[in-house]
Amino acid sequence: MSAKATPCPQAPSLAVTCFQVVSPAGAAAGSLLQEGTRPWADLESESSSSLAMAAEGPLKELCEEATCSICLDYFRDPVILTECGHHFCRACLTRSWGASEGAEASCPQCRGPAQEGTLRPNQHLANLVELIQKLRPVEGKGGVCEKHQEPLRFFCKEDQAPVCLVCGISKEHKDHEVIPLEEAFQENRAVVAARKGRVCQKHQEPLKLFCKDDEALICVVCDRSKEHRDHETLPLEEASQEYKDIFCGFLETLKEEREKILACKADLVKESEDLLKQTTKQKQETVAKFRELHTFLEEQEKLLLAQMEEVEKEVARKRDQDLAEFSEALSSLDSLTQEMEEKCQQPASELLQDAGSFLEG
């Protein structure tokens, strides 16, 4: 069966949040009932047996938590003993203390000391018991639809009441959000757990104060206890605003630091870009200068090589000239030497003849 997601204006405080759910068993049942292809009893037995098996364990556990340990029945006007945190029906606890004439009042469960003036009602637990009684299929008339005599296996969120499969597909509940009991139980369990975190576990009072020494939420009873007597406590809203101001201060500091880092980053990027541009320019200038130097050196090289070639030619020419002169002088000397040698070989009479003119020549 399809479910319509609509808010529930008159739901109890512990009612679960509505959301759209489609029950395969219900959809199949409605379709088959319209077609008339299967007997109603067969269809109901399949869906109800599977749901009953799934819901039995967790629902039983929740029912045990909502049971008074004195009367062994669901809590009626539940109260909490602030000394130990145990819950009882107010009437059961009063009868228990009345039966103990002359004895000091104590907790019937743990036998710890207790005072009648410290009893505090627990409306959250009372709402939970009321919802469990609606969800819990019990023996006899309570677990069977009075109109159709079918087991109450589903839960109507709009009416906050268990319904049978026939009710779920009827005109009365056609546009209502109807879910299996097990699913309703799971939703309620989640809501109870969430609410439990906003209530003092010891005194069952709302956590309306904040202890700055312990940095923890506390109730008004905790605030008057010895444990927090000398501690600095603030109302929840005031503490929240104080810490919110601190967080906002840190947030502003973080934003300022972020802006500084972004500014430094921008400066660094700009400086790097400027350096890169300057380096690129210098690189181009260096390449150009070295190209000019290369051209100049090549020209100087050619000039020097040409000059050295001229020097080489001049040296060779001078050498050849000097060698020619030396050769001519040697030839003359060789001729004169030969004549002198021949002159020395002559007899004395011939040697002395024309000796003066020979030497002068």
Cα–chain center distance at 344 = 128
pLDDT at 41: 38
Pairing of strands 178-180, 154-156: antiparallel
DSSP summary character for residue 86:
-
Q: How is residue 80 written in tokens? A: 């909490």
Extents of the domains making up the chain: 24-202
Please state the CATH superfamily assignment of the domain spanning residues 24-202 in this structure. Zinc/RING finger domain, C3HC4 (zinc finger) (3.30.40.10)
Core vs surface per residue 121-158: b (16+ CB within 10 A) or e: ebebbbbbbbbbebbbbeeeeeebbeebebbbbbbbbb
Read off the DSSP letter of residue 105: P
Helices (H) and strands (E) counted in the chain, each on its own, are 10, 9
Rounded to the nearest 5°, which phi and psi values hold at 257? -60, -40
Q: Residue 100's pLDDT is what? A: 64
Are the C-beta atoms of 116 and 80 separated by less than 8 Å?
Answer: no
Tell me what the pLDDT averaged over the chain comes to: 77
Residues of the chain with pLDDT under 50: 1-55, 138-142
CB atoms within 10 A of CB 71: 15
Residue type, 224: R
Q: How high is the pLDDT of residue 256?
A: 94
Per-residue pLDDT, 312: 95
Pull the structure tokens for residue 17. 């949040």
